[in-house]
Amino acid sequence: MTLPEKIVKHRKENGWSQEELAERLYVSRQAVSRWENGLISEKGGFPCFFIQL
């Protein structure tokens, strides 16, 4: 399972919308959408809090 798939799975298991996850992580909903779609810049990457997923 890829990291974007794990993010979606974790979010849905908790019953959160992208907006709710974004609020919990202090990021924009657009950032969550990019992570879930695997759209990451080489400079940015995923935040370190996804390491535990």
Residue 10's domain comprises: 3-41
pLDDT of residue 3: 85
The answer to whether position 48 is within a domain reads: no
Does the CA dihedral 43-23-32-7 come out positive or negative? positive
DSSP string spanning 34-48? HHHTT---TTT---G
pLDDT of residue 19: 97
The answer to whether position 21 is within a domain reads: yes
Q: Nearest to residue 21, comparing CAs of 40, 7, 42, 5?
A: 7
pLDDT of residue 46: 60
The answer to whether position 49 is within a domain reads: no
Instruction: Tell me the H-state helices in the chain.
Output: 3-13, 18-25, 29-36
The answer to whether position 12 is within a domain reads: yes
- Per-residue tens of pLDDT for the chain, all 53 residues: 988 899 999 999 999 999 999 999 888 999 999 999 988 754 555 666 665 55
Q: Which residues contact 33 (CB under 8 A, 6 or more apart)?
A: 18
The answer to whether position 9 is within a domain reads: yes
Which CATH number do you get for residue 17?
Answer: 1.10.260.40
